[in-house]
Amino acid sequence: MAVSNLFRFAGMQFIGTQFGGTVSLGGVTTSAINPNPQVVQDYADGGIHPTRTTIQSFAEELSFTTTNIDKALDLIGSIGNCIEDGSSVVIYYALLSACAKGPAAGSVHRRVTISQTGSDAGLVHPGSFSCDHRGDASYSFMIKPKSDGVNSPLVIEDSVALPAALLTSVDNQNRYTIGPVTLESVVYDGVKQLSCELGIAITRESADSEIFDEFIAIEKTATKISLSGINPKWITAANIDGSVITHANTEIILRKRAGAAGFVAPATAEHISLTLAGLVVPTNVASSNDQQPVQTGIDIYAEFDGTNVPLVVQTGVAY
């Protein structure tokens, strides 16, 4: 038996007017497509073996992580979007050729498409993003496709060609890392780690014994940013019991890397800005280990201020 049919993730494209045309998202480091079937086996008449096996439902979910967080944020944001009628998300898997440099030639690859005609095709929404000191920020997101009542949420095709844009012109070089943090006009320096859970809860519904979901919507959000660092002066007598922050006086910057070393100048509008309103809560006043610097930490619980979404994200900004 010979090993054959080895495939590798080759890229993904967001297609449609809502995405500004055809946009290839690069920098993808992990991907997964899970059908999540609910399978029931029936037993009867005292038998020890199942006599019938049935798939009662599917709850498909696709998950991805990318380091091109600027483009992902532009496409998906901090809440998410419907994949509108006429739009699609397409994922490509390249057939590997033994001893060849890169994908095999020709129309020999695989394609998975999420698209419906006459209705939206599901929901794409963020999961989390995070960054360590001196590390590159990464952004995770999910796609939850749905059926239109007739067609399967996922279309799998073989013997397709890879789009030229995925082979030659994917923008997968942008990298961002921790920059200045200001909470209610106070600079928080000494940051070692930043993580953000967007906390998107989803409602999925179907009826009439259909096995695919036919309605998917955002039920609620619960955005929380966690910061840890080595400056215990983050926590003072004034904020030990928590403190309120506002969008106007709060900004977290993810600064863009420049080439092999250094960063894009602060005055150049290529960075990412996060603003939020809510409550800052201390989680670690001070902890130490032998001769290491004291560690400290806070959580920021974002909330709707009556005007802005809990977490406002802007790409292409200066600071």
The answer to whether residue 23 sits within a structural domain is: yes
What's the pLDDT at 255? 97
Q: What is the mean pLDDT of residues 169-182?
A: 90
Domain that holds residue 135: 7-39+52-317
Are the C-beta atoms of 189 and 44 separated by less than 8 Å?
Answer: no
- What is the number of structural domains in the chain? 1
Please indicate, yes or no, if residue 44 is contained in any of the structural domains.
Answer: no
**pLDDT digit string (tens) for 227-260?**
999 999 999 999 999 999 999 999 999 999 998 7
Sheet of strand 155-160, all strands in order from the earlier edge strand to the far edge: 21-25, 7-16, 88-95, 109-114, 155-160
Q: Is residue 47 part of a domain?
A: no
Over residues 94-137, the pLDDT tens digits come to 999 877 777 888 999 999 999 988 889 999 999 999 999 999 99
Report yes or no on 46 lying in a domain.
no
What's the confidence (pLDDT) of residue 1?
Answer: 67
User: Is residue 2 included in any domain, yes or no?
Assistant: no
Q: Token pair 């001769």 is at which residue?
A: 291
Per-residue pLDDT, 88: 96
Give the containing element (helix H, strand E) for 212. Answer: none
Reading the block at residue 142, the tokens are 């999910």
Query: Cβ of 29: how many Cβ atoms within 10 Å?
Result: 14
What predicted TM-score, i.e. pTM, was given to this entire model?
Answer: 0.92
| Per-residue model confidence as pLDDT tens digits over 57-83 | 999 999 999 999 999 999 999 999 999
Q: What's 43's DSSP letter? A: -
Torsion of CA 165, 166, 171, 172, to 10 degrees: -170
**For position 151, what pLDDT does the model report?**
86
Residue 150 lies in a domain: yes
**Quick check: 277 and 206 in contact, CB under 8 A?**
no
Question: For the chain, what is the mean pLDDT?
Answer: 94
